[in-house]
């Protein structure tokens, strides 16, 4: 039996305003479970294809598309070809794309636009050349403009269901990502039965509250690892009980261990 091909990853935070992280990866068998990010995920696939569910609707990533996954919306991902996929990802903060565009992005995350696809590739190429930060920043400005044009054409009349109880629980979880929140305490604060809280949250977001909280913690862990902190320090700073706890969830959501992810970083600032 042939040995499984180990994933290849490279992650860093460039000196480019608005870019939270750059992530390049090659996965053959790894499948992401449902999770969320607190940043916009701008994804291109260079080889193979990815099948993913966003807001409980199935999507794919042919070569001529750019996929834009909005923050806080659950999604997963798995190889759609036998040899897996090779992807390049930019995680962007809200300075390029505002929250008002989340609804339009949920409705159509895969953008068939060869010009946009080429421009995103050019951003990655510039990011891979130390000293070309101004070029990368300039090209990213054009990418953001084109993304906004796409999404604003659909903006009118869009919006995803966000029932008040589920939104209130999400706000509580967001406010206590590191400290954590007991379900009984959330139920008391929101005057709802714990089971009703779980059902409402899962119905609204397609992910259980504990999965949402773990995703947020892993997201913070990624940032701290790129800052150079050791996995043990990161575990303590992000709400995991120890390094083993962090490693188990990090590998499940990112595909590699925190140590390997940290070691893949290059010229992080």
CATH code for the domain of 241: 1.10.10.60
**Number of folded domains that form the chain:** 2
**Under 8 Å between Cβ of 76 and 34:** yes
pLDDT for res 22: 95
Do 120 and 71 fall within a single domain? yes
Among the candidates 101, 132, 152, a domain finishes at 152
Structure tokens at 236: 């303590």
**Under 8 Å between Cβ of 36 and 74:** yes
Interior/surface letters 15-24, b for 16+ CB within 10 angstroms, e for the rest: ebebbbbbbb
Do 136 and 182 fall within a single domain? no
Classify residue 157: in a domain, yes or no: no
Residue whose C-alpha is closest to residue 59's, from 73, 44, 42, 76: 76
Handedness of CA 226, 43, 103, 208 (dihedral sign): negative
- Give the angle 15-16-20 at the CA atoms, nearest 5°: 90
pTM check: above 0.75: yes
Among the candidates 104, 119, 152, a domain finishes at 152
Tens place of pLDDT per residue across the chain (269 aa)? 445 567 889 999 998 889 999 999 998 888 888 899 999 999 999 988 888 888 767 776 666 789 999 998 898 888 888 888 899 999 999 988 988 899 889 888 999 999 999 999 999 999 988 888 889 999 999 999 999 999 988 765 444 555 899 999 999 999 999 999 889 899 999 999 988 899 899 888 888 899 999 999 999 999 999 999 999 999 999 999 999 999 999 999 999 999 999 998 874 44
Residue whose C-alpha is closest to residue 97's, from 22, 20, 157, 18: 18
Do 71 and 135 fall within a single domain? yes
């Amino acid at each position: 039996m042939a040995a499984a091909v180990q994933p290849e990853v490279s992650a860093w935070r460039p000196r480019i305003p608005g870019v939270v992280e750059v992530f390049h990866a090659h996965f053959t068998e790894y499948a992401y479970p449902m999770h969320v990010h607190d940043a916009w995920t701008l994804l291109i696939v260079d080889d193979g294809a990815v099948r993913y569910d966003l807001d409980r609707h199935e999507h794919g990533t042919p070569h001529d598309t750019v996929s834009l996954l909005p923050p806080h919306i659950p999604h997963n991902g798995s190889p759609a070809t036998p040899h897996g996929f090779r992807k390049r990802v930019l995680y962007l903060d809200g300075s390029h794309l505002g929250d008002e565009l989340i609804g339009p992005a949920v409705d159509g995350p895969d953008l068939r636009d060869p010009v946009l696809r080429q421009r995103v590739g050019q951003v990655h190429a510039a990011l891979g050349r130390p000293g070309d930060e101004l070029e990368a920043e300039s090209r990213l400005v054009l990418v953001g403009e084109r993304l906004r044009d796409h999404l604003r054409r659909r903006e009118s009349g869009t919006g995803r269901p966000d029932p008040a109880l589920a939104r209130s629980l999400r706000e509580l979880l967001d406010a206590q990502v590191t400290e954590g929140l007991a379900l009984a305490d959330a139920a008391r604060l929101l005057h709802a039965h714990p089971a009703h809280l779980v059902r409402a949250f899962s119905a609204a977001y397609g992910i259980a509250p504990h999965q949402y909280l773990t995703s947020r913690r892993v997201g913070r862990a990624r940032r701290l690892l790129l800052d150079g902190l050791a996995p043990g320090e990161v575990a303590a700073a992000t709400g995991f009980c120890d390094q083993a706890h962090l490693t188990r969830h990090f590998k499940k959501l990112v595909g590699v261990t925190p140590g390997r992810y940290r070691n893949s970083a290059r010229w992080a600032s």
